[in-house]
Amino acid sequence: MEIIKVNNYEEMSKTAAEYIIRKVRQFPEATFGLATGSTPVGTYKRLIEDHRENGTSYKKVATFNLDEYIGLSGENPQSYRYFMDSQLFNHLDIRKENTFVPSGSAEDLAGECRNYESKLKNHGGIDLQILGIGNNGHIGFNEPGTSFLSKTHIVDLADSTIKANARFFNTIEEVPTQAITMGIATIMQSREILLLASGEAKADAIGQLLGNGVNEQFPASVLRNHPNVKVIADKAALSASKVRV
Ligand code: GLP
């Protein structure tokens, strides 16, 4: 795991965006795995700026998002589909039909999980996966205890995740209690992974990630077994890590 230490959120966003832009230019047909949450918003802003100013094209790019809340349709402003459209896709020349987010309102959710895996397979898998990290070490919505062998599946959200994500909703009661997420094994099949972390709130999680041990109680620790992971973290996020970077 390579650790790239940066000063703050802005620098993290710039570093991540530059990395993604280089990938798209070198490999215009790349498939990206994308994340939601506050962490990647600054990165997405920079991709949009670069697209406007320098014309980097996403016409041939495909994207697969990590997760979606169950019970929310894509028109719901709290859904991850809506988030991705408004924060990124609507501002690039990407073809909407090449942007995949699991459907949290599908009638057959188990079928939706299987479909998502086969669509991903048909696209040849993920070239570069962008990840954030939950305070409890979750990646996507893979909460502590999730099997490292898991594929796209339905999860019950941990109370701490519901609390952390309540900031996006009017009341905590509105936060869905279930989600559909790419599994740990799905994420691990990505050829390359960029994990982003910023701020003191992530310091403990990053400390554990960079500490010793790989175990299912701390889902992100599985990344230690992946051959091509870069962690772009700012000073605050690295403040509880013992590693020297
Ligand atoms: C959410 C998402 C994750 C995200 C994480 C951190 O629950 N499901 O994909 O990486 O929590 O979110 P944030 O970037 O807002 O801290």
Q: Are the beta carbons of 172 and 166 closer than 8 angstroms?
A: yes
Spatial separation of the C-alpha atoms in residues 32 and 23, rounded to whole Å: 10
Site to substitute for ligand 1 among 9, 34, 36, most atoms within 8 A of C-beta: 36
Distance (Å) of CA 215 to CA 16, 137, 210, 223: 27, 11, 13, 10
Q: Take residue 203 and report the two structure tokens written for it.
A: 């310091």
Does the CB atom of residue 33 touch ligand 1 within 6 A?
no
Q: Are the beta carbons of 36 and 133 closer than 8 angstroms?
A: no
Does the CB atom of residue 165 touch ligand 1 within 6 A?
yes
What is the pLDDT at residue 55? 97
* Nearest CA residue ID for atom 1, ligand 1: 37
Q: Take residue 176 and report the two structure tokens written for it.
A: 């869905």
- The structural domains of the chain, ordered by start, are 2-234 (3.40.50.1360)
| 28-79 tens-digit pLDDT | 999 999 999 999 999 999 999 999 999 999 999 999 999 999 999 999 999 9
Bridge partner list, 64: 33, 100
Spatial separation of the C-alpha atoms in residues 218 and 115, rounded to whole Å: 27
pTM metric for this prediction: 0.96
Q: Which one-letter DSSP state was computed for residue 151?
A: -
Looking up tokens 């459209």, which residue turns up? 85
Does the CB atom of residue 67 touch ligand 1 within 6 A?
yes
H or E stretch including 11?
helix 9-26
Q: Among candidates 7, 66, 73, 12, which has minimal Cα distance to 44? A: 12
* Nearest CA residue ID for atom 13, ligand 1: 37
% of residues, the chain, pLDDT over 90? 96
